[in-house]
Amino acid sequence: MTVRYRKERLDRGIKARCEDMFALSSYREMLYLLLPRVLPVVALLTFPLLKGVVGLYWEKVLVITCAIGLLALSWDLMASVGLVSLGQALFFGAGAYLTGFLNNSLGWPCFLTIPCGTVGGALFCTFLLLPVLRLRGVYFAIVTLTLPLLLTRFIEASKILGGNQGLSALSPLPNIWFEIYVPVLAVLVCLFGFRRLINEDYGLVLQGIRDNDLAVMSGAINIYKFKAQAVFIGGVAGAFAGAFMTHYYQFVGMPAFALDYSILPLTCAVLGGVGAFAGPTLGAFILVPLSEALRAFGTLRVVFYSAILIICIVGLPEGIFHYIQRKYHQFERMVEVG
Amino acid sequence: MDNAEGQVILKVESTSKRFGGLLAVDKVSFHVEKGELLGIIGPNGSGKTTLVNLITGFVRPDSGKVFFRGSDITGKKPYHIAELGMARTFQMVKPFYQLPAFKNLIIPLYSPRVKKLRGGKYGERDDVAIDLLEEVGFERDSFVPYKVASSLPHGYLKRLELARCLALRSDLLILDELFSGMSMSEVASTLPIIERLNGEGLSIIMVEHRLRELFRAADRVITLNFGRKIADGSPQEVMESETVKAAYLGTEAEG
């Protein structure tokens, strides 16, 4: 008689759990919880130290990855209030141009321009989006898609901020460590900060607005105020990416409003998994390096890139992060049947 | 009615609302006294829910005025009106399906109004929420308040709506067909809660199709038909009114 097996899945995990409090009883359980959080942090922090081994090229890829990761995080925060944006380039470009202007015209050093560009850029975008916060779904998406395009043409036509030449010869960042560690830290701060925020009561209100804004309104909460705050918080992350990259490239021009900065964060979020912040970050850390690694294929690069993207999205529609998370919390073992 | 002071908490002055060719609410005027339980009845499509939406600011009236505690609230935003102390339930339940039941109440508990009245920090609100849910009949011992809203039966979701209103500690409660979709036993256990709240001095407007329960609880009942008010009086008077009977049963008389 043949023995047949069947795969059994069991939920792993810590049973004595109450909201945010974990009853930890052993090092094993502590590791179980800490490992997935600490491992990426350690990996990100040590990667720059290995620049002798991996080469400066990949360190530069890391910086770009972080910038896209920040945009993806800002996309996800806006999506968690139900504002689906197709225009993260708006935040990137606003932060970038403001920083460039402050450095070029006023001669401020990068320690001043980056914070001012970040906050100022986010404020500018929030005020710009204020009238359309009552829009939802595709209507909001279309407005955000057009705004960066509008600003590009406005700069080109009015010849302000360097017109289509952009502003060049901006002051460089002080040193290589600053160059690499600042974006890495920014990603980590945003990732864990946003995760914390969304689990607070404040974040609950944001999620409530996404699920059912009428019910939130009947709960005596001004939803437009919360939406504007979410846009600002998300905008800070996006504008910081722009502000930093301006000094990194020592140039700011119309490419700052390019469609890439709108579409790529969205793709990262969809690939990695919407709604947990770790997903979009993971998506960025897969897509951007992948795009670089495929350079060896020359002109076929986009073909391979797209093919991998399609396979991932069709195969794991919930997103890579949610898949990994689910698997991490499950046992799989073979049990005899019959 | 039995309130000695007889203060008017809500006053609606000939409000009208037209949706295209349909006159949903036609010059309706009425008032609610402090501590009163007012019932609103009417056949399907007679404008009851539109009237509730007009009062609570979800729909802007074409004409007429709404006064709440003496101040004009016509055309104000729903969250502003809620903040002044008017809470409503929705006929179609609107819970946050992905959240546990008690987390649903965190949202009104986080509003400026409740923060001012009750204070509370992150974590403390959870206890308040669970107490409120127990008040409307969520069994704490069997962990019903901790269940995800999407897994709860319809009757619980209706009572979750009620708890969300209670969380606001409002002065006027508007229940839009709270009992529809509830089982007989759920109605039997919810009605005493409403009667108790009313006994404690809360003013309540009940829009209802379950006339027997409504007539038992209400101090006064108004009747709508084709957007017009056709009766206003004690449950006894309304029950015996010929125009109301005609509206419901559809004899030769029409509004």
User: Is residue A10 assigned to a domain?
Assistant: no
> Does the beta-carbon distance from A219 to B58 stay under 8 Å?
no
Q: What integer pLDDT is reported at residue B4 of this predicted model?
A: 43
Domain B8-249: top CATH class: alpha beta
How many of the other CB atoms lie within 10 Å of CB of B111? 21
Residues B154-169: what's their mean pLDDT? 91
Q: Where in the sequence is the domain holding A263, given as residue range(s)?
A: 54-298
Binning pLDDT at 50, 70 and 90, where does residue B77 land? very high
* pLDDT tens-digit map of A249-277: 999 998 899 888 998 999 999 999 998 89
Which residues on A lie below 8 Å from B164 (Cβ)?
215, 218-219
CA distances from B118 to A310, A315, B86, B113, B171 (A): 51, 49, 17, 9, 15
The beta-carbon neighbor of A217 closest among B79, B106, B126 is B79
Q: Report the number of secondary-structure helices (H) and strands (E) in chain B.
A: 11, 10
Residue A25 is assigned to a structural domain of this protein: no
Which of B96, B146, B166 to mutate to probe the A interface, most A CBs <10 Å? B96
The C-alpha atoms of residue B149 and residue B194 are separated, in whole angstroms, by 22
Q: Does a structural domain hold residue A48? A: no
Whole-number pLDDT of residue B1? 41
Confidence label for A103 from pLDDT (cuts 50, 70 and 90): very high
The SS3 of residue B155 is helix
> Across the interface, do A220 and B56 touch by the CB < 8 Å criterion?
no
B 213-242 near A (Cβ less than 8 A): none
Mean pLDDT, range B32-57, rounded to an integer: 92
- B114 to A220: CB separation less than 8 angstroms, yes or no: yes
Q: List the single range of A18-32, A61-75, A133-147, B3-17 with lowest mean pLDDT.
A: A18-32
**Is the residue at A34 inside a domain?**
no
> Which residues does residue A10 pair with via DSSP β-bridges, in sequence order?
A331
- C-alpha distances (whole Å) from A43 to each of A6, A40, A49, A50, A288 are 37, 5, 10, 11, 17
8 Å CB contact of B96 and A19: no
The pair of structure tokens assigned to B24 is 């949903």
| Closest residue to B122, CB basis, from A200, A214, A218 | A200
Q: CA geometry: angle at B112 spanning B107 and B118, to 5°?
A: 85
Q: Please report which residue ranges of A250-300 form alpha helices under DSSP H.
A: 260-272, 278-293
- Does some domain include residue A328? no
Select the residue of A19, A200, A220 nearest B79 (Cβ to Cβ).
Answer: A220
A133 neighbourhood in chain B, CB within 8 Å:
none
Cα separation, B130 vs B111, in Å, equals 17
Nearest CA in chain B to A217: B79
ipTM over 0.90: no
Query: Given a cut of 80, is residue B255 above it in pLDDT?
Result: no
Say yes or no to pLDDT of B51 above 90. Answer: yes
Q: Pick left, alpha or beta for residue B211 (phi over 0 → left; psi -120 to 50 → alpha; otherwise beta).
A: alpha
Question: How many structural domains does chain A have?
Answer: 1
Q: Which residue of B has its CA nearest to A21?
A: B123
> How far is Cα B172 from Cα B85, in angstroms, rounded to an integer?
6
Closest-CA residue of B relative to A202 is B110
On whether the CB atoms of residues A247 and A96 are closer than 8 A, the answer is no
Give residue B80's pLDDT. Answer: 93
In chain B, where are the structural domains located? 8-249
Give the angle A321-A126-B112 at the CA atoms, nearest 5°: 85
Say which CATH number the domain at A279 has: 1.10.3470
To probe the interface with A, which of B68, B76, B110 has the most A CB atoms within 10 Å?
B110
Domain-located, residue A31: no
Contacts of A104 (CB under 8 A, 6+ apart): A162, A167, A170
Q: Average pLDDT of chain B?
A: 88
Which chain B residues are within 8 Å of A223, Cβ to Cβ? 79
Q: How many whole angstroms separate alpha carbon B41 and alpha carbon A249?
A: 69
Q: Would you state the structure tokens that stand for residue A228, as one six-digit string?
A: 């504007």
> Which residues, 6 or more positions from A177, have their beta carbon under 8 angstroms from its beta carbon?
A48
> What gap in Å lies between CA A287 and CA A69, rounded to an integer?
10
The pLDDT of residue A18 is 47
Question: Under an 8 A CB cutoff, do A212 and B167 touch?
Answer: no
Give the chain B residue nearest A203 (alpha carbons): B107
Is the residue at A27 inside a domain? Answer: no
Work out whether strand B203-207 and strand B172-176 pair parallel, antiparallel, or are unpaired.
Answer: parallel
